[in-house]
Amino acid sequence: MNRKDFLKTGVAMGIGASLLASCKPGDDQLIEAPAIITDKKFKWKMVTTWPPNFPVIGEGCNRLAEWIYKMSAGRLEITVYGGGELVPPLQVFEAVSGGSVEIGHGASYYWAGIEQSFQFFTSIPFGMSAQQINAWMDYGGGRELWEDLYSPFNIIPFPAGNTGLQMGGWFNRKIESMDSWKGLKMRMPGLGGKVIEAAGATAVLSPGSELYTNLERGVIDATEWIGPYHDYVIGFHDIARYYYYPGWHETGSLLECIINKRDWEQLPEDLQEIVRTACYRANQDMLSEFEAKNNLYLKKIMDESDVEILPYPDDVMEGMKKIALDIYEDMAQRDELSKRAYESFKAFQNDINEWSLMGAKM
């Protein structure tokens, strides 16, 4: 008898013994048996918004697929495709929703053109930290709301990464007051871009591959990216004079794993739990790697360049926050789904801030 036959026989004997033990004279029906783990194998394709093997995030997607494969003993195999390898980076949501692929990885604010309320599930200017977002998701109603808003698109979302607090951006002129934004051309997407435009700047949309050249040639006056690790690798410290903090525009950016609902429901319960657990691991793993590497590479920027690392002035932070809050209130008045997302986000943030501020006083 080979190992496979042995395991099948053992499972059958175990189930039979369990049923016999549970039966008593006079019982009209058997107690329901536990679910059986089958040998059925699944092969999925994951498309991402990130370049192939992109440091931390793209590499994290590769690790996520590897963990799922190992935990499932090869029953769920996921092939990862970087942005553009199978579908364009910003069409990941549509590909998963339509069922042409089973799973995707990205950030919800990339789908703002589909539904603007989705932006609240990545990061919004002056929003919550990574730790607070996780708390909102798991114990503050955020996950249920997120799933509800994605449901019409046949997608189930899972937290699967976080960049943590980002830096405020690279500039070739100082930001000394709110007037400093006027006429400034800065690469900044999403709601952050709307905030700087309301302050008098021009928000420029350009892919990461063009940022260095655009800043060096003066096509833009400033740019934000992710944090010191990626910024150092790109080389912004060689062409920009000022590096501002904090990243008010992205205070803790949640990354997501999205799965086609039909494909999810075809998985046995144990494989669903494996995927869910792997996403939780990816959520913490990416954040931890960002924190460790950003710490190291901020020191390298300080030691190896003449860049001035400066905090935004208090009046600038206050002015930008007021603009951001006005934008959210306007969104909530004009769009019911945005109202639901913002009110849930705002209520949890307001409640948790008092507790978070106590820790900040240490």
Does the pLDDT of residue 108 top 50, yes or no? yes
Which of the residue ranges 1-5, 37-41, 317-321 has the most confident prediction, judged by mean pLDDT? 317-321
Residues 280-289 pLDDT 10s = 999 999 999 9
State the average pLDDT over residues 161-182. Answer: 97
Residue 187: closest CA among 209, 198, 202: 202
Domain extents for the chain? 42-163+252-291, 169-250+306-334
- Three-state secondary structure of 29-49: CCCCCCCCCCCCCEEEEEEEC
The model carries a pTM of 0.86
Backbone angles phi, psi at 214, to 5 degrees: -65, -40
Same fold, 42-163+252-291 and 169-250+306-334: yes
Listing from the earlier edge strand, what are the strands of the sheet with 155-162? 76-81, 42-48, 103-106, 254-260, 155-162
Work out the pLDDT band at 37, boundaries 50, 70, 90.
low
CB 42 within 8 A of CB 75: yes
Backbone angles phi, psi at 278, to 5 degrees: -65, -40
State the chain's mean pLDDT as an integer.
90
- Which pLDDT value is given to residue 120? 96
Provide the percentage of residues in the chain whose pLDDT is more than 90: 84
Work out the pLDDT band at 210, boundaries 50, 70, 90.
confident
Does the pLDDT of residue 26 top 80, yes or no? no
Half-sphere exposure of 266 (CA within 13 A, CB side): 14
Does the pLDDT of residue 115 top 80, yes or no? yes
Does the pLDDT of residue 3 top 60, yes or no? no
Considering the four listed CATH numbers 3.60.40.10, 3.90.226.10, 3.40.190.10, 3.40.1190.10, the one that applies to the domain covering 169-250+306-334 is 3.40.190.10
Does the pLDDT of residue 36 top 70, yes or no? no
Work out the pLDDT band at 1, boundaries 50, 70, 90.
very low
State the average pLDDT over residues 198-223. Answer: 91
Q: What is the CATH number of domain 42-163+252-291?
A: 3.40.190.170
